[in-house]
């Protein structure tokens, strides 16, 4: 009896030790073929404790993962094996989603509702605009009026990434965010949002990179699928908030426009290059009833159009108090956050 008790105790200790080690290691492997800890990314996310003082890594092996992800737990790293080979994809039109839902939670392929999410070596796709040559007409009970039929748009809002208000810090390194329509990358939190992108590819339609709050994009490529604005900013929550793009390249649709804004905004473009087919149209304020408190704040330094023949509107115009060498991610985020990659 005593020997059996010791054996059972040993087994219980072993199970407890193994479980403890699993979370102590803070690393799970997702492999859709079944050769990892989980076959689905969401399954791995769901298995984690709700909170952690240190980052938990979910390593995703190459494959196409047809999943819509919901992240409500802080301190998670989603790390792919190879950017071009780890593809997370779903098909959602925002117009259709809002017919049956009161908010945007679930409108994107990657839905984020917690702090300190880091993305590495991933491709995140909202495929709706690529899937439909002629988007369907749907019945939308939420529409006012007698006609409840709504024609979805091939180039409507199609979010690959959408953060909600509880998410105020997100970093993405060597990632590809892809949609045909607008608002592909939508990190939205005007009061406290801080967003860091490095070595990423972003593509989509109108306003496909549209951060609210403080944003840093370095060595990123932006590819437009429409003639309307590629980048957008909402800095209305704090006079200091800004979107900064350093060593970035813009191209795509013949005659694409660079950017626009509807509310107070602040743009800095440093050492950026523009395809020769970019329209001669400065970043502009959309006609709006919104009050613009802090005036036009759009700054450029050492930006050029490929093939020469630069447009005058992106000539050097940094404020005298700001030197190009001062413009770093530390300058953008200050003491609030220090992402290091």
Q: Is 60 exceeded by the pLDDT of residue 1?
A: no
What is Dmax (Cα atoms) for the chain? 90
At residue 20 the predicted structure's pLDDT band, cuts being 50, 70 and 90, is very low
What number of other Cβ atoms are within 10 A of residue 264's Cβ?
23
Task: Tell me the pLDDT tens digit for each residue of 32-45.
Answer: 999 999 999 999 99
What is residue 341's predicted lDDT score, i.e. its pLDDT?
A: 87
- Check: CB of residue 177 under 8 Å from CB of residue 203: yes
What is residue 21's predicted lDDT score, i.e. its pLDDT?
A: 40
Domains of the chain: 31-335 (2.160.20.10)
Tokens of residue 161, six digits: 């990434």
Summarize the confidence of residues 95-101 as an average pLDDT: 95
**Secondary structure percentages of the chain, helix, strand, coil, to 5:** 15, 35, 50
7 Ramachandran zone, left/alpha/beta (phi>0; psi -120 to 50): alpha
Task: Tell me the pLDDT tens digit for each residue of 197-219.
Answer: 999 999 999 999 999 999 999 99
Tokens of residue 176, six digits: 């590809």
The DSSP H or E segment spanning 129 is: helix 128-131
What is residue 141's predicted lDDT score, i.e. its pLDDT?
A: 85
Summarize the confidence of residues 96-122 as an average pLDDT: 97
Q: How far apart are CA 258 and CA 224, in angstroms?
A: 9
Which of 320, 321, 247, 243 shows the shortest CA–CA distance to 283? Answer: 243
What is residue 316's predicted lDDT score, i.e. its pLDDT?
A: 98
Q: Who contacts 133 (Cβ-Cβ below 8 Å, separation ≥6)?
A: 154
What is residue 112's predicted lDDT score, i.e. its pLDDT?
A: 98
Across-strand partners of 64? 87
Summarize the confidence of residues 309-334 as an average pLDDT: 97
pTM of model > 0.75 = yes
- Check: CB of residue 186 under 8 Å from CB of residue 162: yes
Which of 161, 163, 157, 154 shows the shortest CA–CA distance to 177? Answer: 161
Q: Who contacts 95 (Cβ-Cβ below 8 Å, separation ≥6)?
A: 150, 152, 153, 156, 157
With pLDDT > 70 as the criterion, what percentage of the chain qualifies? 93
Q: How far apart are CA 100 and CA 304, in angstroms?
A: 45
Task: Tell me the pLDDT tens digit for each residue of 3-19.
Answer: 444 443 444 334 443 34
What is residue 222's predicted lDDT score, i.e. its pLDDT?
A: 98
Q: How far apart are CA 211 and CA 281, in angstroms?
A: 21
At residue 240 the predicted structure's pLDDT band, cuts being 50, 70 and 90, is very high
Q: How far apart are CA 207 and CA 184, in angstroms?
A: 8
């Amino acid at each position: 009896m005593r020997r059996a008790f010791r054996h059972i105790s040993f087994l219980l200790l072993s199970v407890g030790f193994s479980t403890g080690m699993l979370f102590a290691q803070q690393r799970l492997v997702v492999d859709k073929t079944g050769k990892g800890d989980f076959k689905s990314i969401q399954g791995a996310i769901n298995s984690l404790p709700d909170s952690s003082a240190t980052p938990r890594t979910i390593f995703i092996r190459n494959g196409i993962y047809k999943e819509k992800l919901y992240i409500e737990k802080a301190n998670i790293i989603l790390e792919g094996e190879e950017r071009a080979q780890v593809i997370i994809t779903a098909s959602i039109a925002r117009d259709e989603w809002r017919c049956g839902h009161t908010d945007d939670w679930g409108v994107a392929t990657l839905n984020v509702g917690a702090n300190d999410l880091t993305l590495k070596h991933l491709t995140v796709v909202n495929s709706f605009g690529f899937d439909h040559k002629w988007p369907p007409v749907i019945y939308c009970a939420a529409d006012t009026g007698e006609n409840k039929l709504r024609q979805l748009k091939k180039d409507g809002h199609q979010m690959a990434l959408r953060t909600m208000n509880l998410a105020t810090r997100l970093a993405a390194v060597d990632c590809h965010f892809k949609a045909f329509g607008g608002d592909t990358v939508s990190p939205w939190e005007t009061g406290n949002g801080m967003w860091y992108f490095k070595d990423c590819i972003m593509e989509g339609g109108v306003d496909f990179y549209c951060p609210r709050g403080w944003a840093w994009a370095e060595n990123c490529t932006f590819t437009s699928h429409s003639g309307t604005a590629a980048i957008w900013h909402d800095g209305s929550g704090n006079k200091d908030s800004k979107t900064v793009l350093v060593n970035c390249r813009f191209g795509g649709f013949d005659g694409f426009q660079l950017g626009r804004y509807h509310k107070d905004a602040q743009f800095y473009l440093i050492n950026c290059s523009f395809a020769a087919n970019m329209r001669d149209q400065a970043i502009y304020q959309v006609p709006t009833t919104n009050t613009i408190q802090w005036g036009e704040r759009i700054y450029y330094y050492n930006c050029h159009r490929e093939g020469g023949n630069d447009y005058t509107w992106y000539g050097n115009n940094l404020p005298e108090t700001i030197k190009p060498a001062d413009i770093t991610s530390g300058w953008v985020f200050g003491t609030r956050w220090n992402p290091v990659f």
